Amino acid sequence: MIYYKAIFIYMLGGLVGTLWETILNLCRGRGFVFCNGSILTPFNFVYGVGALVIIACLRNQTKWWGVYLIGAVGGGVVEYLLNFLEEKILGTRSWNYTGKFLNINGRTTLIYMAFWGLLCLAVIFLVYKPLNRWLDMIPPETMKIIAIVMATIILCDFMITVSALIRYAGRNAGRAALTHAGQLIDRLCDDAFMKRRFPNMKFT
């Protein structure tokens, strides 16, 4: 059942990440900002995958300092790599820490890495263990059905979101859609729509 549990962990991590980013923007006076990083679901991909990676790597760690150190370094590496791949593949950057204290090529900072360590402590010791016990209480067949349905929705969301991002980058580079699917995406997810849904994405 661990594979079905992973879907629930992804959804919880993605939803918490979206709520966290949304509240943070409200507190900074920026008003409501779309922070889910996807088109169909409220699950932020970065936080959802981050939750899975944290739990997969650290669930058997018993020392708090081990969780903190591995989480801090691992979080910084993941943040750096995702930023690097986004820039190389799409020609965009959704975050740029250039000019911030102790930044590493503008892709992450030592301060944020320290935050990732604290986040990992909270996830492992305050969230994962109670969540795992709760998931064990769900009847296996019920968990399986819900997980399969949600995994299908998440996969469709991922494919649509990636396609929309590719066309967004393509339009910025002056490339016309070559297929009917691309033309449909251009109509449904035009530049104005993408700017609202991905406000932090800047072309390099």
Phi first, then psi, for residue 178 (nearest 5°) are: -100, -10
* Global pTM value: 0.80
**CA gap 42, 28 in Å, rounded:** 21
Contact of 66 with 177, CB cutoff 8 Å: no
Q: pLDDT of 96-149, one tens digit each? A: 999 899 999 999 999 989 988 998 888 888 888 788 888 889 898 999 999 999
Q: CA–CA distance from 39 to each of 59, 71, 75, 148 (Å)?
A: 31, 29, 25, 20
Q: Is the pLDDT of residue 4 over 80?
A: yes
Q: pLDDT of 42-101, one tens digit each? A: 999 888 888 888 888 888 888 889 899 988 998 888 889 988 998 888 888 888 999 899
For residues 84, 87, 90, 93, the Cα torsion angle rounded to the nearest 10 degrees is: 110
